[in-house]
Chain A
Amino acid sequence: MKMMNLVYPMTLALAVTLAATGCRNHRPYGVTPIPNGRGGQVGDVGAGNTLSSSQMAGGGPQTDINSFDNMTQDRAALANYTIHFAFDSSTIRHSEDANLQSVASALNSDRSTKLIIEGNCDERGTEEYNRSLGDRRALAAREALAKLGVDPARVRTMSYGKDKPVDPGHNESAWSQNRRDDFVLLHPKTGA
């Protein structure tokens, strides 16, 4: 702190000397010009906004995620078989076994279909934590379906964290509905 006290008088004295001698490029003492534009400043947003999704590094996805893209989503087919979870848990309860069996039967009866499992959470958890928890819930159902004979390569998982509640309420009845896996059946596009 004592050294600091010396800094300002010293800098002041030297700066005044500097200004008085008429060096080129000197600025008036104590005036701080602030550029009007934000050009180049960290945090600036450029004009363009181009998306080059083709430029994926690392040789692209390990699992063939794109094989799910050109299919028709059928959200109604398995809507009755949504499974639910206990608070902060990704363990599948026995009460959900019948629903999982129904999902497995649907997939096993038509080998041309595929499945998206969407994992969801209630709002009681931090955002990125819930994104991981939703992921675990979807992955847990995929593991359970594999045991029921469904090839995991036909199943894609997707976590929405707490971003897609079915009930926007802030009470246990809403929360218990929101802690869930939804099953979305995928059909090959007709004519494809």
Chain B
Amino acid sequence: MSTAKIFKRPDGRKPDEIRAMEAKVGVIPNANGSAMFSFGDTIAIAAVYGPRKMHPQHQQNPEKGTLRCNYSMLSFSVSERIKPGPNRRSTEISKITEWALEPVLMIKKYPNMVVDVHINILQANASTRCAGINAAALALAHAGIPMRDLVSSISIGKLDKQLVVDLNKEEEDWEEGEGSTDIPITMTPNGEITHIQLDGRITSEELKEVIGLAEKMTKEVYEVQKKALKDSIKI
């Protein structure tokens, strides 16, 4: 399995080329912390409110703080309008996002409190959950939440037999050969995996290669996130 340069991606990118990324913090003045993150056309914004008292009371955890993520796509972010309101997909992604972020949060010292992270997708061209997680990680850091590290998320794909990074919609819908396998992965800069999903068709060997590729690629995402946080303060 190779990422040889001969493979032609629909938008002309090389197999290991991520779309142009953009990241900025502080985009929502009311929030405790906020950020936007984009992979090409896919744009996510996130805001953090908290730590604050958890409501409803029965959801309070007396032993540590709770992370609560809410992921939602704006109705006009996709070609066919999404009816406003939660759906099964956004409910699952909200939970996945929580699991992707929790391992690096240090919120033990906030018992009975909640850190609310709201993620909205303004424009979608695949990899929306990854953009959302990247924006959320930035917003959490920006909000001053104690964290061991950032997490960085990217989608790795297999188009027929070819591995590519950062799938767009056209590639998600790839039908030639073995079709498209979509693998969103989130990692810390130290190589710890906090989130991995897969749908498609792949062998274990290929998957190991995917993970190796993800380790390299998430580091590129990390650099963009780091810059956004550093650039936001002028000493």
Task: Say whether A and B bind each other.
Answer: no
Give A contacts to B, CB under 8 Å: none
Residues on B facing A (Cβ under 8 Å): none
